[in-house]
Structure formats: structure tokens, C-alpha cells
Structure 1
Amino acid sequence: MGDRHAVTLLTRAGCGLCIVALDQLRSICADFGIEPGTVDVDEAAATDPGLRAEYGDRLPVVLLDGREHSYFDVDETRLRADLNR
């Protein structure tokens, strides 16, 4: 069930909210057998400047299957429901 979903956190170095969000994601995703990925928008800007342009001012951003799911805070209730689908 859970292995068909991909969870990615858009982050940047020195982002305190990003650290909290990643810890939350790891805990939630562990229940579904998923290891959340991370993408540093500043590092990714070398090959994908649009990523930082779109998300850089509202990090952290949670992507579920490549689509924006939440930002600033992890919406745990919604994420769990969506991962169950």
C-alpha cells in the first residue's frame, strides 16, 4: 500500500522548521514503510532554478508523489489519510 507513494521534503541548510518537519515525516512515513526523501532547494537550483524560485520562501514543503501537499507544517492527519489511499 504505502510503497506506491513518494514523500519528499523540500528544505535548505539552516532551516529549523525543516529539521522539525523531517523528524515528523520520518515518524509518519515509517508507519507506511516509506523513507521520505529530501531536496535542498539551494543545491537543486544549479540544475532546477525554478524549484527555488517557486518554493524557496515558504520552506519546508512536503511533496506527496511530486505534488505539493503542505508547507511550513506537516499536515499529519491529511498526510496519513492520503498515504492510506
Structure 2
Amino acid sequence: MPPRDHRVTLVTRAGCHLCAEAESVLRSLAAELGFGYDEVDVDAAPALLAAFSDRVPVIVVDGKEHGYWRVEEARLRARLAR
């Protein structure tokens, strides 16, 4: 499945410096590789807050948690190449 067929979601929070770093990396990769990308605010959804509150940012690929706190670019590229 080429990268453009994947969906990456960043679970983020306002004022989070790690979230800002992850957003920058993911936006750049989305532009380069063409995968779908969106962001959701962990504090706007009770279910997300319960699941991820202390681990933001969280990177979700195709509906499954891929990682948190930092984008491991090589690992993400490998996942998207599948």
C-alpha cells in the first residue's frame, strides 16, 4: 500500500512543544509522501483524553497507535511503505 493510501492522525494539545515538533515533521512528510493527515485535540474528546492524556503527542496510523512523544521518522517511513 503506497503512502498516499494511509491516514496519519496526530493527537495533540494546545501549548505542547512536543506536539508542535511532531506537527512540523508530519506535515512535511505528508507533503513529501502524499498520505492523508489530520490532527485532533486530545482535550476536546473525553475518550481521547482518557486514553492519551499523559502521552501526547500520539501518532496514529490507519486507526492504530504508532507511537507517542516523538516522531521516529525512519520507523514511520517503514510503516507507511507497507
TM-score (norm 2): 0.91
Counting strand residues as a fraction of each chain, which structure ranks higher?
A: 2
Please report the RMSD computed on the Cα atoms of aligned residues, expressed in angstroms: 1.1
Q: 2:56 maps to what in 1?
A: 59
The count of aligned residue pairs is: 81
Q: Are 1:74 and 2:71 an aligned pair?
A: yes
Counting helix residues as a fraction of each chain, which structure ranks higher?
A: 2
TM-score (norm 1): 0.88
User: Structure 2: 5+ residue runs without aligned partners?
Assistant: none
Cα pair 2:3 2:81 within 8 Å, conserved: yes
The CA deviation string for residues 33-79 of structure 1, in whole angstroms up to 9 with x for no partner, is 12420000111x2xxx2211110111000000011101000011110
Moved over 4 A (4+): none
Cα pair 1:32 1:83 within 8 Å, conserved: no
Report percent identity of matched pairs.
Answer: 52
Q: Aligned partners of 1:3 and 1:17: how far apart in 2?
A: 25
User: Structure 1: 5+ residue runs without aligned partners?
Assistant: none
Cα pair 1:26 1:35 within 8 Å, conserved: no
